[in-house]
């Protein structure tokens, strides 16, 4: 069998990292991706660097009920691209994506289908799959999205040590294929109406409900993402360091401003009406961006609490609630 290469693309990592580079926030909906251009550039890059023909590009993402949306169908129709989908759970999280990547990497290696794998991801959970593929005689190279400073964006320490190398995507490929979504700026009409305000669930409502169930436990409201019952109450904590506080302030400001720049009046109203729940994509972006800034992908409960509290302070101030 002739020597071949393959590319495994973690779409969640790629789009979030590219969005961070182009907009300052990892929110996926803030950018549009020219998939045809990106895959063509990626194919040329890998074939030039390996000197091997490309078997195909494997594209990993999550879909509601494991089914592709319109954008994912466009990816699936591209030549030499195989779409592999995990699921989106009820709280908006991805399930099964890392497992699919790992199984395919190990399967291709054991079947001698490829000699070189380029992995476009930074996820620590893929470390063991990389090592198993290497044990089968396959080279695994991490391909990272560049930060604004030119370094690799969000590649875990364990993954970087396990791989045969880390290479950075040329910035021109990202800038050519990923563009910020341009929207009209917010207007005064986007402020929440009194009728909407009367329907809101306030932090005080959540606090009263929680303390009624557990009156002996001092508590602080934690603003989390997910369904209507996703918010919870955590014990009081000592606070956060000055460094973390500054980082949270910066992340909240950048992420909210980026979200607000493309949000419709309905989305702004829905955000405040849904308090204290933060929409899952927005909550995930806040956590990812703070983890990137702090180079800490195991954020403490204190950091998560403070991040969500500061987000609501920013949102209520900006939206006039």
The pLDDT tens digits of the residues spanning 270-303 come to: 888 888 888 877 888 888 888 888 877 678 888 8
Percent of the chain residues topping a pLDDT of 70: 80
Q: What is the pLDDT of residue 92?
A: 66
Q: What is the pLDDT of residue 193?
A: 38
- Residue 149 is classified by DSSP as T
Query: Are the C-beta atoms of 221 and 310 separated by less than 8 Å?
Result: no
Confidence of residue 235 (pLDDT cuts 50, 70, 90): very low
Q: What is the arithmetic mean of pLDDT over 164-193?
A: 74
Computed over every residue of the chain, the mean pLDDT equals: 81
Q: What structural domains and CATH numbers belong to the chain?
A: 5-180 (3.40.50.1010), 188-319 (no CATH)
Q: What is the pLDDT of residue 14?
A: 95
Sequence length of the chain is 321
The per-residue pLDDT for range 5-20, each reduced to its tens digit, is 999 999 999 999 999 8
The per-residue pLDDT for range 89-124, each reduced to its tens digit, is 766 677 889 999 999 999 999 999 999 999 999 999
Ranges 83-87, 186-190, 248-252, most confident? 83-87
> What is the rounded distance in angstroms from the CA atom of residue 48 to the CA atom of residue 41?
11
Query: Are the C-beta atoms of 166 and 160 separated by less than 8 Å?
Result: yes
């Amino acid at each position: 069998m002739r020597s071949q290469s393959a590319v495994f693309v973690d779409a969640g990592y790629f789009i979030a990292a590219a969005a961070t580079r182009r907009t300052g926030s990892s929110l996926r909906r803030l950018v549009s991706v020219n998939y045809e251009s990106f895959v063509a550039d990626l194919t040329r890059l890998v074939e030039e660097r390996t000197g091997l023909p490309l078997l195909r590009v494997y594209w990993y993402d999550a879909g509601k009920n494991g089914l592709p949306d319109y954008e994912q169908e466009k990816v699936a129709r591209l030549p030499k691209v195989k779409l592999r989908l995990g699921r989106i759970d009820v709280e908006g999280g991805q399930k099964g994506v890392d497992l699919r990547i790992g199984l395919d990497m190990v399967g291709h290696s054991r079947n001698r289908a490829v000699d070189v794998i380029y992995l476009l991801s930074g996820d620590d959970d893929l470390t063991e799959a990389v090592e198993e593929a290497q044990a089968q005689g396959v080279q695994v190279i991490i391909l990272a999205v560049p930060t604004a400073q030119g370094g690799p964006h969000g590649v875990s320490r364990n993954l970087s040590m396990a791989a045969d190398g880390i290479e950075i995507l040329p910035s021109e490929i990202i800038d050519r294929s990923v563009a910020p979504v341009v929207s009209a700026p917010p207007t005064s009409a986007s402020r929440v109406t009194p009728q909407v305000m009367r329907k809101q669930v306030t932090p005080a409502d959540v606090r009263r409900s929680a303390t009624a169930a557990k009156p002996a436990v001092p508590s602080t409201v934690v603003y989390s993402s997910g369904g209507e019952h996703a918010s919870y109450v955590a014990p009081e904590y000592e606070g956060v360091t000055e460094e973390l506080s500054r980082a949270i302030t910066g992340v909240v400001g950048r992420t909210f401003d980026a979200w607000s720049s493309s949000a419709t009046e309905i989305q702004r109203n829905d955000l405040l009406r849904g308090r204290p729940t933060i929409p899952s994509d927005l909550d995930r972006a806040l956590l990812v961006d703070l983890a990137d800034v702090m180079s800490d992908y195991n954020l403490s409960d204190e950091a998560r609490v403070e991040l969500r509290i500061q987000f609501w302070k920013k949102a209520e101030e900006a939206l006039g609630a």
